[in-house]
Structure 1
Amino acid sequence: MKSALGRLADPLIYLILSALALITLYPFIYVLVASVSEPVAVMKHQGLLFWPLGFTLKAYDYVFENPMILKGYQNTLLYVSLGTCINMLMTSLGAYALSRRYLRVGNWVMLMIVFTMFFSGGLIPSYLNVKSLGMQDTVWALVIPSAINTFNLIVMRTAFRGVPDSMEESAKIDGANDFIILFRIFIPLVLPLFTVILLFYLVQHWNSWFPAMIYLRTREMYPVQLILREILISSSTETMTSGVSARDSEPIGETIKYATIMVVCIPIICVYPFLQKYFTKGIMVGAIKE
């Protein structure tokens, strides 16, 4: 039987957690509701907003009529798919090699890799390096410099070290090489962690806009996040509201910003529920065991 204090604590905990969840979700709710509300009503409204002020999808029509939004989506999908594949391949290869205890220079290499978590050359040397390699204004400038995340490499290396050496030895007796051992034994054994790291890289590329702003010069190569930044920071909605009267252009421009945010955020939000079940198990697989 619970004590009186225990029976009182449970509802209080649920109340506090519900309030925190509402505070966390409210900005998303506000943007969603404002994006489907009447533009003039949104401009005049003050205070909290939990339901649409009228209902219209006019802002979304303007967003999808903007050719740069669709082009940005195509570019982002390219950068996300190509970048994530390179990330997972390079991280897996590096983690596997560094997890082998018979690699004599493994500890020294790990020290150099960990060093990069605390010190870096900075933005200007990175830019000069990309430029000297001829990658400026190409897709490679967005995926090669960020091919490996140090933290993800360390976590995956720790997970690979947890695989018994006897499994690797048995596979080698059967004639398997290192690539077969990695892709048919090690990765399936740490699949939850592999999925979590894949999601980390995917979200990283989806939200990335700063490298594109630094390295890209051709506007047609911009990712959708950089287009979103232009709309929010520079308020560049005039091209989407060219046929609207001057009096209505400002209210519609505000709802276009909200609609653009939703269009950019919803795809990556929809991915989370399918991979959420791997989070706890995946991080535990990569926990420090040494």
Structure 2
Amino acid sequence: MVTIPAEPGTKVEQDPRLGSRPTQTIKIKDSKSYSAFRVFNGIAIIVICLVTLYPFMNIIAQSFSSEGYINAGQVNLIPRGFNVTTFEVVMSDSMFWRNYANTVIYTVVATAIAMVLTTCFAYALSKRHLKGRSFFIGLAVFTMFFNGGLIPNYVLINAMGFTNTIWAIVLPNAISVFNLLVMKAFFENFSQELEEAAEIDGLTTYGILWRIVIPLSKAVMATMILFYAVSFWNAWFQAFLYLDRRELYPVTVYLRNLLAGATGTEQMGGAAGEGTQIASNVQSVTMLLTTLPIICLYPFLQKYFVRGIMLGSVKA
């Protein structure tokens, strides 16, 4: 142990662990190059944030602007000619809320099923003593590059009787291979000694998974929930392909039809003037209504998102 004597005129602090002996407080200053790097890094992050936020702010401004300013290209970051006609027409339609509720149900059910299947599969693949482990990993990776194709998938879903049911939405993409590999890497770094201690205490394999592993894996679990929820929330093609009844559509298909002109303003009770306004900013309104719930959810999962990705990719 080395004690630095206090120099005359130096501020001296008392360390309670050292009794009455004085200790010297030393402040290390950053080098000029490191200070310059911090300034440059801060400026770069601010510029990247502004570039990232600009398109979204422009979409918000256009969604609340009137048709004349939008067509003239005069809307930038601030709404001009404040107008909510498109919002009123879209949100006054009962079918919009019906489809929005469908989206919530599809997302919750699909995410729950995907998390159960992905977690169990990833935990099994993380065990190096599993017989046939390489085969199952290769089979999972193979599906990332090759699939049966659109027509065989449609024939399969139709033959199983899933057409016009929730199962056509929640089952075909229940396991994402990318998410599976991330969770597998995370579980491989899990403490083997802790699992062995739980096994000695009498827990079965499923007991170790549900009572030990999952409670200690909140970071990667929250990350996977976010990945799956965003994926299922934004999905529209499978619903467009397998669902024929409008009352079963998710909101993404409803807004897609509105954007494509499949749902006319007259059908929703709009007048000719409203139709012109809707045509001018329907794209920005649909994008805002679709992404807003996920944007509101992300801040609550951000810390788990960063931590889960890092812990699943760094070897201990």
Of 141, 147, 160, which aligns to 1:114?
A: 141
CA distance in 1, matches of 2:91, 2:56: 20
* Structure 1 range deviating more: 217-226 or 279-288: 279-288
CA offsets per residue over residues 69-113 of structure 1, 9 Å max, x none? 111111100100000000000011111122222311112111111
CA offsets per residue over residues 241-279 of structure 1, 9 Å max, x none? 6442x3552123323443232222111110111111112
Of 260, 273, 279, which aligns to 2:305?
A: 279
CA distance in 2, matches of 1:13, 1:47: 33
1:269 counterpart = 2:295: yes
- Alpha-carbon distance change, 180 to 4 in structure 1, aligned in 2, over 3 angstroms: closer
**Residues 38 and 55 of structure 1 are in contact (CA less than 8 Å); yes or no, is this contact kept in structure 2?**
yes
**Which residue in the other structure is 2:219 paired with?**
192
Q: What code does the residue aligned with 2:308 have?
A: G
**Residues 61 and 75 of structure 2 are in contact (CA less than 8 Å); yes or no, is this contact kept in structure 1?**
no
**Residues 98 and 106 of structure 1 are in contact (CA less than 8 Å); yes or no, is this contact kept in structure 2?**
yes
Q: What code does the residue aligned with 1:273 have?
A: P
Q: What code does the residue aligned with 2:101 have?
A: Q
CA distance in 2, matches of 1:6, 1:102: 50
CA distance in 2, matches of 1:131, 1:190: 38
Cα shift at 1:137: 1.6
1:227 counterpart = 2:239: no
CA distance in 1, matches of 2:210, 2:34: 53
**Which residue in the other structure is 1:18 paired with?**
46
Cα shift at 1:287: 1.0
CA distance in 2, matches of 1:40, 1:116: 49
Answer 1 or 2: which has greater helix percent: 1
Of 46, 67, 73, which aligns to 1:39?
A: 67
Equivalent runs, 1:209-228 vs 2, <5 Å: 209-228=236-255
Say how many residue pairs are matched: 287
Q: What code does the residue aligned with 1:36 have?
A: F
Q: What code does the residue aligned with 1:113 have?
A: A
**Which residue in the other structure is 2:203 paired with?**
176
**Which residue in the other structure is 1:205 paired with?**
232
Q: What code does the residue aligned with 2:153 have?
A: S
* Structure 1 range deviating more: 102-111 or 194-203: 102-111
**Residues 89 and 270 of structure 2 are in contact (CA less than 8 Å); yes or no, is this contact kept in structure 1?**
no
Q: What code does the residue aligned with 1:146 have?
A: N
Q: What code does the residue aligned with 2:89 have?
A: Y
CA offsets per residue over residues 7-38 of structure 1, 9 Å max, x none? 4x665554454343333222211221122223
**Which residue in the other structure is 2:277 paired with?**
251
**Which residue in the other structure is 2:78 paired with?**
51
* Structure 1 range deviating more: 181-190 or 196-205: 181-190
Give the gaps of 5 or more residues in structure 1.
none
The alignment's TM-score, normalised by the length of structure 1, stands at 0.90
1:100 counterpart = 2:127: yes
CA distance in 1, matches of 2:293, 2:140: 33
**Which residue in the other structure is 2:154 paired with?**
127
Larger-Rg structure: 2
Q: What code does the residue aligned with 1:184 have?
A: R
CA distance in 1, matches of 2:152, 2:262: 32
* Structure 1 range deviating more: 135-144 or 170-179: 170-179
Give the gaps of 5 or more residues in structure 2.
1-29
**Residues 62 and 256 of structure 1 are in contact (CA less than 8 Å); yes or no, is this contact kept in structure 2?**
no
**Residues 63 and 259 of structure 1 are in contact (CA less than 8 Å); yes or no, is this contact kept in structure 2?**
no
* Structure 1 range deviating more: 190-199 or 253-262: 253-262
CA distance in 1, matches of 2:54, 2:213: 42
* Structure 1 range deviating more: 69-78 or 127-136: 127-136
**Which residue in the other structure is 1:79 paired with?**
106
- Alpha-carbon distance change, 288 to 121 in structure 1, aligned in 2, over 3 angstroms: farther
CA distance in 1, matches of 2:220, 2:41: 31
Q: What code does the residue aligned with 1:132 have?
A: A
SS in 2 for 1:276: helix
CA distance in 2, matches of 1:114, 1:49: 44
